[in-house]
Amino acid sequence: MAEAFKNLIGPATVQAVAHHLHRVHHRFDQAGFESQALTGLQALEFKARAQHLAQALMAHLPEDFERCAALLEASLKRVPAPRFEHDPDKELGNLQTDETGVAGWALWAYGEVVAQRGLPHPERALRALHAITQRFTAEFAIRPIIQAHPELAFATLQRWLDDPSAHVRRLVSEGSRPRLPWGLRLHDLVRDPSPTLPLLHRLQDDPAEYVRRSVANHLNDIGKDHPELLVQWVREHRDDTHPTRSRLLRHASRHLIKQGHTPMLHCWDVGTEFHGEVSLSVPHHTVHIGEVLPLTIALTATGPAPQTLEVDVRVHLRKADGQLRPKVFKGKRLTLAKGEQASWTQSLSFKPVSTRTLYPGTQGLDVSVNGQALGWIELKLKEAPPAR
């Protein structure tokens, strides 16, 4: 069984941070820090652990932010000098604390310290985050600075577009995402994303896929609030002779495609009505929470010309208010000639997850074909049977 995510910050993390801070500052109260950081740590979930560790750090680091930031930076792991063309995806597994210093998940707490202590000193805070992000990420910590000091923050992000570290260039996009999961929501950018658009324009052709994935996710965020803006972006920037650009924009379009947004579907040549038949089948119509249900989808094209189809599966889940709301799962994109058939089986999980509560009762399944809701299967979801 995989280790719990929260254990990425545990007693060993605390001890390593204490060791390296004491290594660079012999007056650092290693024992006192460990005692405070370890008290109550095991009862907390991951994000709360990072915040708890940050509180312990702030209680034992100098109040003067310049000295505080300098000590945090001095305790960081040594990393090779960045090269613009390097591939950070190959480095991520090595971003761990070692004998040279701190890296990896412990640095979420470092970022919290910088975000809280450094807010009145934004220029110094940004320099610290520049160092931290090369050993983990600073996408959460930079957001309060963007919110409080937007002019300085965006001028800095503009300079970082040319940084040799892909980790720093990724921070330009990821740190300014309007709706970053787990991060402070940047409401000004939710309302008006225009300050980030010149940054994304530069980064969408970055040599590092690691950076381009962030740009795709950022554009996907924008599309949730400004679908017309994203549609226009795709129309202007799609270039099928540029495969990395097309993959990025396709990924950026995924929310609107799954929502059956007609203008976006037309951008990807899948906005026309399907002429044909759809058949859905399941081995049984009763499923227990915790089970996986195979769904077989069969399409038969009847139109006079080949049809390009975007097929997504929609599971209509019962919510706390009793209403059914669709959760969309990626299916397939395919082209069918007249009379051609295609079928496949897709596994649908009804296992509980932290982001979704399952309520027993009537549920439903259908598919979206080029934005059309087709087929319907009614399901009965029941509580998991007691363990024997």
CA dist 43 and 120 (Å) reads: 32
**How many residues belong to the chain?**
388
Burial of 71 (0-12, 13-18, 19+ CB in 10 A): middle
What is the bridge-based pairing of β-strands 307-318 and 361-369?
Answer: antiparallel
Q: Which residues are within 8 A (CB) of 228 and not within 5 positions of it... i.e. 6 or more apart?
A: 263
β-strand partners of 313: 329, 367
CA dist 260 and 227 (Å) reads: 12
Tokens of residue 20, six digits: 């390296």
Per-residue HEC secondary structure of 319-331 comes to CCCCCEEEEEEEE
**Residue 269 CA to its chain's centroid (Å):** 27
Tens-of-pLDDT digits for all 388 residues of the chain? Answer: 445 788 899 999 999 999 999 999 999 999 999 999 999 999 999 999 999 999 999 999 999 999 999 999 999 999 988 887 777 777 766 789 999 999 999 999 999 999 999 999 999 999 999 999 999 999 999 999 999 999 999 999 999 999 999 999 999 999 999 999 999 999 999 999 999 999 999 999 999 999 999 999 999 999 999 999 999 999 999 998 899 999 999 999 999 999 999 999 999 999 999 999 999 999 999 999 999 999 999 999 998 999 999 999 999 999 999 999 999 999 999 999 999 999 999 999 999 887 789 999 999 999 999 999 999 999 999 998 887 6
At residue 230's C-alpha, the angle toward residues 224 and 234, to 5°, is 145
The DSSP annotation for 93-121 comes to GG-S-BTTBB-GGGHHHHHHHHHHHSTTS
CA dist 243 and 386 (Å) reads: 51
Strand arrangement of the beta sheet that strand 341-349 belongs to: 276-281, 292-301, 341-349
Q: What is the pTM of this model?
A: 0.90
